[in-house]
Amino acid sequence: MKNTQEYITKNKEKFVQELIELLKIPSISADANYANDVKLTADSVASSLKEAGADNVEICETAGHPIVYAEKIIDANLPTVLVYGHYDVQPADPIDLWTSPPFEPVIKKTEIHPEGAIFARGACDDKGQMFMHVKAFEAMMNANELPCNVKFMIEGEEEVGSTNLAIFVKNNHDKLKADVILVSDTGMLANDTPSITTGLRGLSYVEVEVTGPNRDLHSGLYGGCVANPINILANMIASLHDENNKITIPGFYDKVIDLSDEERAEMAKAPFSKEAYCKALDIDEVMGEAGYSTPERGAIRPTLDVNGIWGGYTGEGAKTVIASQAFAKISMRLVPDQSSEEITNLFVKHFESIAPKGTKVKVTPHHGGEPSVTPIDSVGYKAAAIAYENTFGKKPIPVRSGGSIPIVAMFEKELGLKSILMGFGLDSDAIHSPDEHYGLFNFYKGIETIPHFFVEYTKLLKSK
Ligand code: BES
Ligand code: MN
Ligand code: MN
């Protein structure tokens, strides 16, 4: 590993410059106008894998955006690590709120990142983190120290639900044969508090539409006489939580696996400051389900949130009108053993049942995904823990995350493989938001830590 680490130290500047070039391409998967940029990004990822020394580099076309596949098989008797990441990014809007343009990366110092952070859409989620794997591989290849086989599968549709990747995985069991999956698309607690993500939440996502009268009406002539879809939708949404912030959909909690007191006590050991949390968000109090701490509410408990709501007149001045329709987008984060299909069905049934007379309700489900957990006694977790200890000088804390990467549960179902979630981002890195950034410290630490995982995993698996 000595030569690998030397190569990394020597090439730090080059790595950042290359990442900056990658971040300049606006690979927004959700917007068809950027389809060509998405394709250019796939080409760029494929080239860097080839240059790093990968074999059989392929751009696999799908019904949507392409998947980049590559491999280096050095000995069929050695373990194989399958690296997963995504090169697509979220849309950059609202653009006005960025302090520098989202696709013109710049390095700026912040309080949390005194050595600098790269500001750009995708810097942390997930181009920056995915690219750490390409560079760690390049380093191991150049140092002649790759200890096992590696396969790469980098997709371009994670931010839109990974539908085509799921099909690709189903159709390519042999090609994707591996011993473990390695993913850097999550976060850690703080730069001096390394952690490994041991769980992800699932997701149900629905769009609702409430229709009242057949046309927009004068709010003086008709106000008070007919159901106002916006008033009704607001009421319906408000009724989805009770006074303890529990979700009121019948059956919603039925399948939730409660954590034992021991597990909750273990979780409570991870450092968390409510004051710092509130200060960072400029709020004077937190809010959530009664009986649970903020870290618990954000990781081991299911939630329901409105992500967008619209209808009626929102232009300048005052227009007196009762809209015919009102709309909202609602997400539910799920925990083991909730199923996204079951929860979506429960939502539809309940939401339709609470619509008052005089209104019609339509619910349209969007893509969902299942929750997943990684046990800390697995070989993969142990190898990752040693890797972090080597580079941070501290044992990492296992932490369940509130975010979702639906393909992780799919990997387990289809390939029978657990994923090790070695994420190096911070919650404050503003992923999906204006001014997304990724610390240089985090980028380098990731590149340094990944080769240790390869070495430790190979060692542990051999000695089994
Ligand atoms: N990388 C994130 C998920 C994430 C971030 C997990 C931080 C844990 C910590 C991923 O790209 C993402 O944004 N997922 C979406 C779901 C997807 C189906 C669009 C999410 O969690 O909202
Ligand atoms: Mn991501
Ligand atoms: Mn994302």
Q: What is the pLDDT along the chain (464 residues), one digit of tens a residue?
A: 899 999 999 999 999 999 999 999 999 999 999 999 999 999 999 999 999 999 999 999 999 999 999 999 999 999 999 999 999 999 999 999 999 999 999 999 999 999 999 999 999 999 999 999 999 999 999 999 999 999 999 999 999 999 999 999 999 999 999 999 999 999 999 999 999 999 999 999 999 999 999 999 999 999 999 999 999 999 999 999 999 999 999 999 999 999 999 999 988 988 999 999 999 999 999 999 999 999 999 999 999 999 999 999 999 999 999 999 999 999 999 999 999 999 999 999 999 999 999 999 999 999 899 999 999 999 999 999 999 999 999 999 999 999 999 999 999 999 999 999 999 999 999 999 999 999 999 999 999 999 999 999 999 998 87
CA of 421 to the centre of ligand 3 (A): 14
> Among all chains, which residue has been given the structure tokens 């380093």?
139
Answer positive or negative: Cα dihedral of 108, 112, 118, 123. Answer: negative
Atom of ligand 1 nearest to the CA of 423: 9
Q: Alpha helix locations (H) across 53-81? A: none
Q: Whose CA is nearest to atom 20 of ligand 1?
A: 404
Both structure tokens of 101: 């343009």
Atom of ligand 1 nearest to the CA of 421: 8
Which residues' Cβ are closer than 6 Å to ligand 1?
125-126, 158-159, 161, 185-187, 200, 203, 369, 401, 403-406
Closest ligand to Cα 421: 1
Q: How many residues does the chain have?
A: 464
Atom of ligand 1 nearest to the CA of 406: 18
Question: Which amino acid is present at 246?
Answer: K
Q: What are phi and psi of 102, to 5 degrees?
A: -60, -25
CA of 86 to the centre of ligand 1 (A): 11
DSSP 445: H
Sequence-ordered list of residues with C-beta below 8 angstroms from that of 281, at least 6 positions apart, any chain: none
Task: Give the SS3 label for residue 362.
Answer: strand
Question: Which amino acid is present at 100?
Answer: S
Atom of ligand 1 nearest to the CA of 185: 1
Pocket test for ligand 1, best of 158, 164, 421, 428 (most atoms within 8 A of CB): 158
Give me the pLDDT at residue 245, please: 98
> Among all chains, which residue has been given the structure tokens 């110092």?
109
- Environment class of 380 (CB within 10 Å of its CB; exposed 0-12, middle 13-18, buried 19+): buried
CA of 463 to the centre of ligand 1 (A): 35
Q: Whose CA is nearest to atom 7 of ligand 1?
A: 186
Domains of the chain and CATH, by start: 2-200+371-463 (3.40.630.10), 202-256+302-369 (3.30.70.360)
Closest ligand to Cα 200: 1
Sequence-ordered list of residues with C-beta below 8 angstroms from that of 325, at least 6 positions apart, any chain: 209, 210, 211, 212, 229, 311
Closest CA to 57 of 3, 129, 128, 137: 137
Give me the pLDDT at residue 367, please: 83
CA of 241 to the centre of ligand 3 (A): 27
The CA–CA distances, whole Å, from 12 to 20, 225, 424, 438, 444 equal 13, 68, 17, 15, 7
Give me the pLDDT at residue 449, please: 98
CA of 126 to the centre of ligand 2 (A): 5
Helices (H) and strands (E) in the chain, counts: 12, 18
Q: Whose CA is nearest to atom 16 of ligand 1?
A: 404
Give me the pLDDT at residue 1, please: 87
Phi/psi-derived region of residue 87, left when phi > 0, alpha when psi is between -120 and 50, beta in every other case: alpha
> Among all chains, which residue has been given the structure tokens 């199923």?
339
Question: How far is Cα 162 from Cα 410, in angstroms, rounded to an integer?
Answer: 10
CA of 432 to the centre of ligand 1 (A): 9
Q: Whose CA is nearest to atom 5 of ligand 1?
A: 186
Encode 8-20: b = buried (16+ Cβ within 10 Å), e = exposed.
beebeeebbebbb
- Environment class of 262 (CB within 10 Å of its CB; exposed 0-12, middle 13-18, buried 19+): exposed
pTM of the model: 0.95
